[in-house]
């Protein structure tokens, strides 16, 4: 039960940021062809090495812009790192951005099967779990309404319900528990606790140090794309709060 599900070795993620304003696609191509586009490098992550074992609950903290969401996208496979390597095992369910993996033109019901497919599950598998997902999301008749008419909180509820009811090997939560009403947040945290008891690995990004202490055993603090501190969740949550 101590095998590694996630391993990052010296990972770096670099983005090219345009140093000048481009107002249209036409202007972009004209400057591109003419060799007049200039960029500056921005390293969102640098020299990140991290190992996450089965059953661990890792808390990730850092100020806005520290690289937390970029790190989650690298772990989930959304981004391919500029340098370094990432190894993954098992099914990873990332709740990184509201609406990620969804099609806004499809209904809630249709998106259950779409997101399930993104996670690697068959239609038959999702059909067997649909009623449980719909009940947990508690969206009622909105399950047959296109997601473009959903509020951000409703999309978060649907995405969370799909991810936790499919019971992945690794669940990535990026500030998801800060969205939605109090009732749903309590239900969500209770469900995560159930998953933790079953040995599911959780990576939890949050500014809420109390949640980090309740849900996580280990934590890291990111600063300017680098891990600057690593240790027990309780100790690091106190350090981050200060």
pLDDT of residue 78: 87
Is residue 30's pLDDT more than 80?
no
pLDDT digits (tens, 9 = 90+) for 177-222: 665 677 887 888 888 888 888 889 999 998 889 989 988 999 999 9
**SS3 category, 209:** helix
Is residue 168's pLDDT more than 80?
yes
Enter the pTM of the model: 0.78
Q: Which residues contact 131 (CB under 8 A, 6 or more apart)?
A: none
The β-bridge partners of 12 are: 83
Percentage of the chain surpassing pLDDT 70?
Answer: 86
pLDDT of residue 152: 80
How many CA atoms are closer than 13 Å to the CA of 160, on its beta-carbon side?
Answer: 30
Q: Which residues contact 72 (CB under 8 A, 6 or more apart)?
A: 60, 94, 96, 172, 174, 203, 205
pLDDT digits (tens, 9 = 90+) for 135-154: 999 999 999 999 999 988 88
Q: Kindly report the number of other CB atoms within 10 A of residue 224's CB atom.
A: 14
Distances in whole angstroms, Cα of residue 111 to Cα of each of 95, 108, 164, 168, 180: 14, 5, 15, 18, 19
143: DSSP letter: G
Cα–Cα distance for residue pair 160/188, rounded to 1 Å: 8
* Average model confidence (pLDDT) across the chain: 86
Binned at pLDDT 50, 70 and 90, residue 97 comes out as: low
Residue pair 112/190 in contact (Cβ under 8 Å)? The answer is no
pLDDT of residue 1: 46
Residue pair 216/55 in contact (Cβ under 8 Å)? The answer is no
Is residue 164's pLDDT more than 90?
no
CATH of range 4-241; options 3.40.50.300, 3.20.20.80, 3.40.50.1400, 3.30.70.100: 3.40.50.300
Cα–Cα distance for residue pair 138/154, rounded to 1 Å: 9
Is residue 53's pLDDT more than 80?
yes
Cα–Cα distance for residue pair 6/90, rounded to 1 Å: 9
Say how far residue 36 (Cα) sits from the centre of its chain. Answer: 36
pLDDT digits (tens, 9 = 90+) for 56-91: 999 999 999 999 999 999 999 989 999 999 999 988
Is residue 157's pLDDT more than 60?
yes
pLDDT of residue 156: 82
């Amino acid at each position: 039960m101590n095998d590694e599900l996630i391993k990052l070795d010296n990972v770096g993620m670099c983005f090219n940021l345009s140093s000048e304003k481009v107002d249209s696609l036409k202007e972009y191509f004209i400057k591109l062809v003419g060799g007049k586009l200039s960029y500056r490098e921005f390293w969102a992550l640098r020299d990140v090495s991290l190992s996450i074992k089965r059953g661990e609950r890792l808390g990730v903290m850092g100020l806005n812009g520290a690289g937390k969401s970029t790190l989650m996208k690298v772990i989930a496979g959304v981004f391919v790192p500029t340098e370094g390597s990432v190894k993954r095992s098992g099914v990873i369910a990332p709740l990184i951005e509201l609406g990620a993996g969804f099609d806004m033109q499809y209904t809630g019901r249709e998106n259950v099967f779409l997101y399930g497919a993104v996670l690697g599950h068959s239609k038959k598998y999702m059909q067997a779990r649909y009623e449980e997902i719909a009940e947990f999301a508690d969206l009622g008749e909105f399950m047959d309404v296109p997601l473009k008419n959903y509020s951000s909180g409703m999309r978060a509820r649907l995405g969370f319900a799909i991810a936790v009811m499919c019971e992945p090997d690794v669940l990535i939560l990026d500030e998801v528990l800060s969205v939605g009403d109090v009732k749903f947040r309590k239900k969500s945290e209770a469900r995560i606790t159930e998953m933790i008891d079953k040995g599911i690995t959780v990576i939890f990004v949050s500014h809420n140090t109390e949640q980090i202490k309740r849900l996580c055993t280990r934590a890291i603090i990111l600063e300017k794309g680098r891990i600057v501190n690593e240790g027990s969740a309780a100790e690091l949550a106190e350090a981050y709060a200060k």
